[in-house]
Amino acid sequence: MEGVKPTRMQLLEIRKRRLLAVKGHELLSQKRDALISNFFEIIKNRKEKREEMERKIKEAFESFIEAEMLMGERQVRALAEGIKEGRDIKAEKKNIMGVPIINFSIEDRAIASYGMLDTTSNLYEAINRGKEALDAIVEVAGIEGSIQKLGKEIEKTKRRVNALEHIFIPKLEGTIAYIERQLEEREREDFFRRKRMKTFMEQHD
């Protein structure tokens, strides 16, 4: 309240600021609730995707072990080295309540330099399972990043909501009450001053 002039103009200005603060608190509260809802939805999705990823990694590992048992570790490694690098990460952006979220996926352009006679169906299956596992790993990594971003935004929004609710709005309301008391006191003083003046004038008529 320091430096506040108890005038009607000041009172109207601070009432406007309180109205804006209350509206801002309402909007931020809605944003916080929507972010939290999306956050837990992604958490649920992460649990499912992590379980799927772990299953695919296990299946890929078992398939490569089986291929190595049938073909030999040296031949499997030699054929694996013949696969030319050609994987691109595709980023798909979306927006959740102003928070940019990116989902990642792999665009596989890997080219094998071996032929059907060089390998077996077991290795083909192992390679395909390996690709599926890698896809799942990249997808889960994107989900983890989304969770971190949403978590930070939720904390920031919570702090702003709490600041408005417990500091800014109460301070404005206290200032309004102070100005109203001062104005009421002035009105009482003016009333008694006018009353005394009227009495004085009547006595000297």
* CB-facing half-sphere around the CA of 140: CA atoms within 13 A: 18
Mean pLDDT for 2-21 is: 89
State both tokens at 171.
């301070």
Quick: pLDDT tens for 82-115.
665 556 777 788 888 888 888 877 776 554 555 4
Domain boundaries of the chain, sorted by first residue: 8-150+180-188
Quick: pLDDT tens for 32-48.
999 999 999 999 999 99
Q: What is the mean pLDDT of the chain?
A: 84
Chain centroid to CA 188: 53
**8-150+180-188 under CATH 1.10.287.3240, yes or no:** yes
Is it the case that residue 23 has pLDDT exceeding 60?
yes
First to last CA, the chain: 46
* Residue that the structure tokens 């296990």 belong to: 58
- Does pTM surpass 0.85? no
